[in-house]
Chain A
Amino acid sequence: MNAAIDHDVILKLEDVSKVYSGTVAVKRANFEVRKGAVNVLVGENGAGKSTLMKIIAGVEQPTLGRILLDGEEVSFSSSGDAVSRGIGMVFQELNLFGNLTVAENIFATREITNRFRKIDSREQERRAAEFLERLEAGIRPDMLVEDLRIGQQQLVEIAKAVSLDARILIMDEPTSALSAAEVEILFKVIADLKARGVAIVYISHRLEELIRIGDYITVLRDGRITGQETMKNVDTQWIVRQMIGSDAKDFAKADGHVPGEEIFRAADICLPRVTGGFAVDHVSLSLRAGEILGIYGLMGAGRSELFDCIMGRHGHATGAIFIAGKKVRERDTTRRIRRGLALIPEDRQREGLVSILSVASNLTLASLSRFVRLFHISGAKENHAVAQMVRELAIKVADPAQEVSSLSGGNQQKVVIGKALLTGPKVLLMDEPSRGIDVGAKADVFRTMRKLSRDGLGILFATSDLDEVMALSDRIAVMSNGKLTGMFDRAEATEAALVAASALGHGPPHTESHAHD
């Protein structure tokens, strides 16, 4: 890239902070956006990238600090404000109307009308076609958006942003749903925009992509900007170091117990994808009693899908699983739970809890048969078990008959964990167990994991948090694009090696686009 060092600064954030009730999302950030260049923004989940972008796009207002556009101070009260000053944004979540045509979507809220206020569809479609042609996607402007592939929809979203004729264009993970070929086209469009002097702010998790198209890079960690450089001067190592930092979190210490015999083995697990290829691609791994095996990987690496296969949630998955050496022939979730498997799903609200039931009913939902005599649920036995779980996991609840939705996120997560533990599992699958819970609850969850492993449970836990996987695991498996791309002992694992393994085989189909951050 011919990144001239001195591109003009078009937009500047000075000492910008953003505070939500209780949490500081961005702390005193200084950020410069340069004209005719790709300004890359990178950081782990929850580092504050999206918040920073929303401030620039006028969706959020900064709590403190100044925004300078062309050297003069501005404040945007809405995204419409920002658009009128020439700032456009491609959002991570698609903001399209599936029931309208591509052209109607591109010109939504600024429809082209004739003298009688009637929408001039022909003119809209003609102009939409111009933008789409640049994207070489073969999308006709009169097609319905819902008939397009997810990748094509993302291109429409991009066309919509380009059509704003913005001076500053923000792209939040624009490639997350694109195929390799589509990514190439997008990069061509970006080069074209750059040549016309447009400043591009580009957010992505894919490091190799950033290094290829970025001119300037800014790294965010925990709401702070930890590094700013021209892309020429940096490499992957540097980025990762800035992203991760070195401050310690409160992880429970390992107690040095030695794992026992193999308790669980997965052999050659495969899950075909509807769009071709595999979501889980021939994965085999084994786990010993009392061992914590961390599975590290980026979004869409196939970790959750692997867990789903193990739990028997996909009828068309292939491969075999063994518990304590015996093959598990049961294919449905109910009987696999009885064999000693339990899953703590990633999405607590959608998959973990029945939010309108009580804390007690949620805790015992998966293990009711333990409290049943003939067909009668023994209230005393059930209450006893509930009280014990509440105590053991330190769930803060006044009365277990309370609706579970009235608890805080951390306590809800403990309820999900308690539910799994009450089934008496031999192997516990934990999918992002610390997602979206506060620091104290995190520490509790980690302590519980340590204790369970000491009691002889095998724990498989998936995370995209490097600190977590390094601190808690006895061994670390890395997944990328559905494949197992690395397996490290705790002693030999380095952050750089994990990151490198998690980026292997990336590029082509990447259908998943988790909305998060």
Chain B
Amino acid sequence: MTDIPAKASVASASNGSVLLTLMKARTFIALIAVLIFFSIAAPNFLSAANLILMSKHVALNAFLAMGMTFVIITGGIDLSVGSIVGLCGMVAGYLVLNGIDLQVGYTIYFNVFEIALITLAVGILIGAVNGLLITRLNVAPFIATLGVLYVARGLALLSSDGRTFPNLVGKPDLGTTGFGFLGAGRLLGLPVSIWILVVVALGAAYLAKYTPLGRHIFAVGGNERAARISGVRVNMVKMFVYMFSGFCAAIVGLIISSELMASHPATGESFELNAIAAAVLGGTSMSGGRGTIGGTIVGAFVIGILSDGLVMMGVSSFWQMVIKGLVIIVAVVVDQAQRRLQSRVTLMQMAKAG
């Protein structure tokens, strides 16, 4: 989580600009600010139970935002994640309740682990469809994922005719019990979903920083032509980021279904917007090439804590929307100001160096 300010502070320490350092750490400062504000303004805000509950809320958005971050760094956008959440939830629910009917008198039931794997595969597959549309058929990412948004949502609704799959406890004799573990289980006192978030986030941050694939993601977003000439397999990189985004969405679908012990086909509507907001708040540049996983997670926490805190204070949900919007706009304005300041400092350094 420290790696947003970390990279920045190396450069800024040398030019001694305090303002620049503050601006670079803005998401972190915002996080501390909302934490302090609500711990004073909202009673019980700092109780362990409330913090864990909030973390569970934040985790859902954080998963989607991580996938979104990689996509945005390559210069794309993924609008389909909310629908993938819904569809994957339905897939999991369907498998728990009905298994797969082989049409020859047998029905296969899977255990919960297998169901999770199949659901993740479905998410990755839809991500691959996004990727193929964008790389092979040259559809603009906005349009391709918008189309998939509708298709996936439609399929989710078709799967149950618009109804909810209720009561996903499973049957002991079919081996389908234990689906609630993801949403309600705990390890070492923390919810399972938080542990999953920690693992995926560490993995994603590692990938971004220490692997060729991660470096290539940034290169593609920074200058696709130069990346291609340098031998980067641009299409493979793009396929990966959309598949990873689908994977993250599938995790969220599983967790939500597990928490509710039910799958509702409308789950996840407009989640994509929260994910984009978290990524942008965390310093991801919509024009590509810039962004960090740590920043995005902090961004997700700022948005999540803000909305939960406002609920606890009893602020109307209409005002909550206004406030959330303002926070996002301010974040981007500060981001632009930082860029300008940064380039001025760089120019001055160049002038000094001669």
Contact = CB atoms under 8 A, between A and B. Distances in A.
Contacts of B227: 354, 365
A419 B255 CA distance: 45
B259 to A, nearest CB: 34
A351 B225 contact: yes
B222 A369 contact: no
Given A351-B225, A376-B211, A366 B231 contact: yes
Given A354-B219, A375-B211, A334 B353 contact: no
A462 interface: no
7 contacts: A334-B232, A345-B226, A354-B219, A357-B219, A361-B219, A372-B211, A376-B210
A184 B223 CA distance: 42
A372 B219 CA distance: 17
B350 interface: yes
Interface string B276-301: 00000000000001100000000000
A36 interface: no
A254 interface: no
Given A350-B223, A423-B231, A403 B215 contact: no
B212 A369 contact: yes
Nearest to B212: A368
Contacts of A408: 350
A377 B229 contact: no
B210 A377 contact: yes
- Max count, chain A CB within 10 A of own CB: residue among B11, B229, B290: B229
Given A355-B222, A357-B219, A357-B222, A311 B229 contact: yes
Interface residues on B, range: 20 to 34
Contact of A354 (B11, B211, B223, B349): B223
B210 A419 contact: no
Interface string B208-244: 0011110110110011011111111100000000000
Contacts of B223: 350-351, 353-355
Contacts of A334: 231-233
Interface string B286-329: 00011000000000000000000000000000000000000000
A296 B162 CA distance: 69
A11 interface: no
- Max count, chain A CB within 10 A of own CB: residue among B10, B213, B225, B350: B225
B107 interface: no
Interface string B172-211: 0000000000000000000000000000000000000011
Contacts of B222: 354-357
B17 interface: no
B50 interface: no
B228 to A, nearest CB: 6
B231 A354 contact: no
Given A354-B226, A356-B290, A365 B232 contact: yes
Given A375-B212, A406-B350, 4 more contacts: A313-B228, A334-B231, A351-B223, A375-B213
A419 B289 contact: no
Contact of B289 (A333, A356, A406): A356
A356 B226 CA distance: 12
7 smallest beta-carbon distances between A and B, as pairs = A354-B222, A366-B230, A337-B231, A368-B212, A334-B231, A354-B223, A365-B230
Contacts of A379: 210
Contacts of B229: 311, 313, 333, 343, 345, 351-352
Contacts of B213: 375
Contact of A398 (B210, B218, B289, B353): B353
B346 A403 contact: yes
Interface of chain B, helix or strand or loop or mixed?
Answer: helix
B225 A357 contact: no
Contact of A365 (B11, B219, B225): B219
Contact of A401 (B10, B218, B231): B10
Interface of chain A, helix or strand or loop or mixed?
Answer: mixed
A286 B350 CA distance: 43
Contacts of A423: 231
B215 A377 contact: yes
Interface string A411-451: 00000000100010000000000000000000000000000
Given A377-B210, A377-B211, A401-B10, A353 B226 contact: yes
B218 A361 contact: yes
Nearest to B289: A356
Interface residues of A, number: 35
Contact of B218 (A337, A352, A357, A369): A357
Interface of B: 10-11, 210-213, 215-216, 218-219, 222-223, 225-233, 289-290, 346, 349-350, 353
A353 B349 CA distance: 21
Interface in A314-369: 332-334, 337-338, 343, 345, 350-357, 361, 365-366, 368-369
Contact of B226 (A337, A351, A368, A377): A351
A217 B215 CA distance: 54
Contact of B349 (A311, A372, A406): A406
A366 B213 CA distance: 12
Contact of A333 (B212, B231, B290, B346): B231
Contacts of B346: 403, 406
A130 B282 CA distance: 59
Given A334-B233, A403-B346, A406-B346, A368 B228 contact: no
A357 B7 CA distance: 12
Interface string A456-492: 0000000000000000000000000000000000000
A402 to B, nearest CB: 8
Nearest to B350: A406
Contacts of B225: 350-351
Contacts of B215: 361, 365, 368, 377
A407 to B, nearest CB: 8
A359 B195 CA distance: 37
- Max count, chain A CB within 10 A of own CB: residue among B10, B218, B225, B230: B230
A377 B349 contact: no
B350 to A, nearest CB: 6
A386 to B, nearest CB: 13
Contacts of A372: 211-212
A349 to B, nearest CB: 8
Contacts of A366: 230-232
Contacts of B350: 406, 408
A419 B230 contact: yes
A149 B289 CA distance: 35
Contacts of A345: 226, 229
Nearest to A371: B212
Nearest to A308: B229
Contacts of A419: 230
Contacts of A369: 212
B280 to A, nearest CB: 17
Nearest to A357: B222
A354 to B, nearest CB: 4
B234 to A, nearest CB: 10
A276 B11 CA distance: 52
A419 B229 CA distance: 11
